[in-house]
A and B are shown apart, each in its own frame.
Chain A
Amino acid sequence: MDLVFVNLIDGLVTGLLLFMLSAGLTLIFSMMGVLNFAHASFYMLGAYFGYQISVYMGFWMGLLIAPPLIGLVGAAVERYGLRQVHQYGHVPELIFTFGLALLIEDVVKYIWGNDLQPYAQPDILNFTAFAIAGNSIPAYKVFMIFASVAIFLVLLYILTKTRVGMIIQAALSYPRTVESLGHNVPLIFMGVFGVGTALAGVAGVIAGPVLGTFPGMAFVLGSIVFVTIVIGGLGSLWGALVASLLIGWITTFAKSYNIRAEDVLTGIGIPRPEVLSNSSFRDIWTLTSPQIADILPYLLMVLILVFRPYGLFGKRDA
């Protein structure tokens, strides 16, 4: 029972981290119709920027300075890259971000090299916050939870209570109308893209010390972010939150409990073959849930898309 509680906390941390990325992505997607393949790359840039700044000025300055810098880079990419490609349609836009992701990885390797960077948590958070039955919860994880919740609340406030948020929300649903009302839609696009990438940057700065800062970190996270927003429903902030937490908990619990395929299969009445080593299904029989934990979200996504193409909370067809 204690372990369940610990797993809930761990899943929450994973889920909230995922949410910070998917929140920006879902905003960008719903407004511009662009699946930004480079989104995880901005997360990686965030970690590297945060690391580089922390070398000179400490972790907290990194957290403060790196995300706006990432936002500026993102806005520049929108202004000078995406806008150029926009005229050709959505697929070239998507392919542009795809190429951009490759390019960012190469640039990161060019500047920082291939090795893991020694990006460390701040000493002030380097202690055990509390322990449940011998499982310690590091203070840094508590900080991660609070930081992501704070960001969610700020985002929610901006989107629902401020004038800028109203325009963005309107643009999400009726982009043409907003444009004809005289709002500078390109500027809104650039702003949303900048803010979205800055959010990814925050996630990078925070996650870099825990999950490792290396050139493959964007690829490891990779497409799971798309999976999140597709499951949640494109354009829905709440959908992104629910899907992130769902994925966080599913993967955490699948890894924590060794559910074996053997038990499941015998449970539904299929007899286990006598000699397993000769059976062509031997790998199915020896399968355990931790082995497939990380591909469960993809399975979930395919099922959802087949049966409910607009996701859990989406209003319109993906």
Chain B
Amino acid sequence: MIKSVKLGLAAVLAAGISASAAFAENIKIAFIDPLSGPFAGTGINGLHQFEFAAETLVNSKGGVLGGTDFEIVAFDNKISPKESLIQLQVAIDQGIRFIAQGNSSGVANALTDAINKHNRRNPEDRVIFLNYSAVDPALTNEKCNFWHFRFDANADIKMDALTDSIAADGNIKKVYIIGQDYSFGKAVAAAAVRNLEEKRPDIEIVGNELHPIGKVKDFTPYSRKIVSSGADAVITGNWGADMVGLGRSILENGYGGPIYTYYAAADGITAAFGDAGVGSLRLVAEGQINPAPSDRAQEYVDAFKAKYPDGNISQARIANTIEMLAKAIDAAGSATDMVAVADALSGMEHESIWGGKLMMRPGDHQLIQDVHIMEHTKGVKNDYDNSGFGVAVVKTVTMAAMDAPHSCEMKRP
């Protein structure tokens, strides 16, 4: 009798899965990211950007392969590796061959591993992994594989650009490094130390520490240490509530110098800093939206804001991801021959909507692109969180880390 209950529920399960698999003419991209739970804000905003990019940059221009549209199918992974793997399986069963994911390097690591295994074990329905945001350097180095493509600049590339900016500032003599205690935070700290030693051996690193991720309620003790160390600059890879907590606490407790960050913008963070962040917060990121590099970019931002007034173009690379995928499918002449599409993507060059050139480096599938240093500024045209504040580009590194070495040994199928 229990089993018959189980049977009935399983029937519901099958119906639920196959209901959405009914129409198949579009090229579907599975968006596997958190749509519920603590990181849902970032996930949903990313989903909107994907849907908008697919609609504006591909579908409204006639689609790919002479008239086939892109369709984004959302899967909620609750930022859990286990759930991501289940949803990956569901997506593959629905005939989806392109997987997009970005939030959390831990999930990306689980997915790239699973996709590699899946493609090896099931050559008849291979999939491609479009990593649009997970920046752990390992993913394009020792853990790289042929099916994984990263569209964001990885943590090392960003740190290279960021330390260039610090090295150029003669006033900075002491630097404090603080980050979340996990692989990304550690990668940021290691890259910062390495780069600073190389570029400005005279800079003293007065602090290098990690704090538990997502567990710190009050950052005051940390900011006390930073203030009393006499640091002229702070480097942190923090994101989400940890970024706001740390940044606000440092500023409130008497620190006035620059804070170099990776993720101190959008998703409520810009609004939370407001006036306090002006003159201090610096970001390293790709994708220039202030000032918009072209009319086309400005139109894109305007149209997005008209559709999602509460949303932000916080991940400019999503537009690049969609455009390059469309180009690769057209070049391969097929959306089903994954090896051909991956080959077309690998080494592809493209003019970004955000200005500058893009190149998918064939050796490790890391996208080489312009990386910018931005400042938290009041009164920019394209603000974040409708707060009147936004990030404006102050410095650009063209084709950052183009010739930097990598340790990837790519195996073609």
Chain-B contact segment, one of A112-120, A265-273, A308-316: A112-120
Chain-A contact segment, one of B91-99, B206-214, B358-366: B206-214
Least Cβ distance of A24 to chain B in Å? 18
| Interchain CA distance A253-B245 in the complex, whole Å | 18
Chain-B contact segment, one of A66-74, A79-87, A149-157, A210-218: A210-218
Q: Out of B210, B220, B272, which one reaches A116, CB within 8 Å?
A: B272
Q: Is the CB of B44 within 8 A of A221?
A: no
Q: Is the CB of A256 within 8 A of B225?
A: yes
A 34-61 binary contact with B (CB < 8 Å = 1; else 0): 0000000000000000000000000000
Q: Is the CB of B224 within 8 A of A291?
A: no
Chain-B contact segment, one of A3-11, A88-96, A166-174, A226-234: A3-11
Q: Which residues of A contact B271 (CB under 8 A)?
A: 116, 118
Q: Is the CB of B241 within 8 A of A212?
A: yes
In this assembly, does A262 line the interface, its C-beta being within 8 Å of a C-beta of chain B?
A: no
Q: Is the CB of B41 within 8 A of A114?
A: yes
B267-281 residues at the A interface, CB under 8 angstroms = 267-269, 271-272, 274
In this assembly, does B351 line the interface, its C-beta being within 8 Å of a C-beta of chain A?
A: no
A 206-249 binary contact with B (CB < 8 Å = 1; else 0): 00001110111101110010000000000000000000000000
Chain-B contact segment, one of A25-33, A126-134, A185-193: A126-134
Q: Is the CB of B222 within 8 A of A290?
A: yes
| Interchain CA distance A212-B218 in the complex, whole Å | 10
Q: Is the CB of A6 within 8 A of B244?
A: no
Q: Is the CB of B241 within 8 A of A116?
A: yes
Number of interface residues of B (CB under 8 A): 38
Q: Which residues of A contact B253 (CB under 8 A)?
A: 135-136, 138
Q: Is the CB of B222 within 8 A of A255?
A: yes
By secondary structure, the A interface counts as: helix
Q: Which residues of B contact A131 (CB under 8 A)?
A: 254
In this assembly, does A177 line the interface, its C-beta being within 8 Å of a C-beta of chain B?
A: no
Given contacts A117-B268, A118-B268, A135-B224, is CB(A14)–CB(B218) below 8 Å?
yes
Least Cβ distance of A94 to chain B in Å? 23
Q: Is the CB of A128 within 8 A of B272?
A: no
In this assembly, does B66 line the interface, its C-beta being within 8 Å of a C-beta of chain A?
A: no
Q: Out of A6, A135, A214, A290, which one reaches B211, CB within 8 Å?
A: A290
| Interchain CA distance A3-B39 in the complex, whole Å | 36
Least Cβ distance of A186 to chain B in Å? 35
In this assembly, does A183 line the interface, its C-beta being within 8 Å of a C-beta of chain B?
A: no
Least Cβ distance of B181 to chain A in Å? 6
In this assembly, does B69 line the interface, its C-beta being within 8 Å of a C-beta of chain A?
A: no
Q: Give the number of residue pairs across the A-B interface with Cβ within 8 Å.
A: 110
In this assembly, does A258 line the interface, its C-beta being within 8 Å of a C-beta of chain B?
A: yes
Q: Is the CB of A291 within 8 A of B212?
A: yes
In this assembly, does B60 line the interface, its C-beta being within 8 Å of a C-beta of chain A?
A: no
B354-389 residues at the A interface, CB under 8 angstroms = 385, 387
Q: Is the CB of B252 within 8 A of A211?
A: no
Q: Is the CB of A113 within 8 A of B41?
A: yes
Q: Is the CB of A3 within 8 A of B241?
A: no
B187-227 residues at the A interface, CB under 8 angstroms = 209-212, 214-218, 220-222, 224-225, 227
Q: Out of A3, A117, A215, A294, which one reaches B224, CB within 8 Å?
A: A3
Q: Is the CB of B268 within 8 A of A115?
A: yes
Q: Is the CB of A133 within 8 A of B210?
A: no
Q: Which residues of A contact B220 (CB under 8 A)?
A: 10, 13-14, 252
| Interchain CA distance A251-B254 in the complex, whole Å | 21
Least Cβ distance of A150 to chain B in Å? 21
Q: Is the CB of A133 within 8 A of B274?
A: no
Interface centre among B217, B224, B245 (most CB of A within 10 A): B217
| Interchain CA distance A131-B254 in the complex, whole Å | 9
Least Cβ distance of A2 to chain B in Å? 8
Q: Which residues of B contact A210 (CB under 8 A)?
A: 218
Q: Out of A3, A118, A128, A294, which one reaches B212, CB within 8 Å?
A: A294
Q: Which residues of A contact B38 (CB under 8 A)?
A: 114, 215-216, 219
Q: Is the CB of B228 within 8 A of A135?
A: yes
Smallest CB-CB separation from B312: which chain A residue? A115
In this assembly, does A176 line the interface, its C-beta being within 8 Å of a C-beta of chain B?
A: no
Q: Which residues of A contact B254 (CB under 8 A)?
A: 128, 131, 134-136
Q: Is the CB of A135 within 8 A of B214?
A: no
In this assembly, does B40 line the interface, its C-beta being within 8 Å of a C-beta of chain A?
A: yes
Q: Is the CB of B241 within 8 A of A252?
A: no
Q: Is the CB of A211 within 8 A of B268?
A: no
Q: Which residues of B contact A114 (CB under 8 A)?
A: 38-41, 44
Given contacts A136-B254, A291-B181, is CB(A116)–CB(B224) below 8 Å?
no
Q: Which residues of A contact B274 (CB under 8 A)?
A: 118, 120
B 298-337 binary contact with A (CB < 8 Å = 1; else 0): 0000000000001000000000000000000000000000
Q: Out of A116, A120, A135, A219, which one reaches B267, CB within 8 Å?
A: A116
Least Cβ distance of B60 to chain A in Å? 29
In this assembly, does A282 line the interface, its C-beta being within 8 Å of a C-beta of chain B?
A: no
| Interchain CA distance A253-B221 in the complex, whole Å | 8
B 260-296 binary contact with A (CB < 8 Å = 1; else 0): 0000000111011010000000000000000000000
Q: Which residues of A contact B224 (CB under 8 A)?
A: 3, 6-7, 10, 135, 256
Given contacts A118-B268, A128-B254, is CB(A220)–CB(B212) below 8 Å?
no
Given contacts A135-B254, A256-B224, is CB(A288)–CB(B245) below 8 Å?
no
Least Cβ distance of A204 to chain B in Å? 13
| Interchain CA distance A273-B269 in the complex, whole Å | 43
Q: Is the CB of B210 within 8 A of A291?
A: yes
Interface centre among A109, A114, A216, A224 (most CB of B within 10 A): A114
Smallest CB-CB separation from A288: which chain B residue? B209
Least Cβ distance of B186 to chain A in Å? 10
Least Cβ distance of B1 to chain A in Å? 25
Q: Which residues of B contact A290 (CB under 8 A)?
A: 209-211, 221-222
| Beyond known contacts A116-B271, A256-B221: 5 more, CB 8 A cutoff | A115-B41, A115-B268, A253-B221, A290-B209, A293-B212
Chosen A-B contacts, 11 in total, with CB atoms closer than 8 Å, are A114-B40, A114-B41, A131-B254, A135-B254, A211-B218, A216-B38, A216-B241, A290-B209, A291-B212, A293-B221, A294-B212
Q: What residues of chain B have their CB less than 8 Å away from a CB belonging to chain A?
A: 38-41, 44, 181, 209-212, 214-218, 220-222, 224-225, 227-228, 241, 244-245, 248, 252-254, 267-269, 271-272, 274, 310, 385, 387
Q: Which 3 A-B pairs have the closest CB atoms?
A: A114-B41, A115-B268, A116-B268
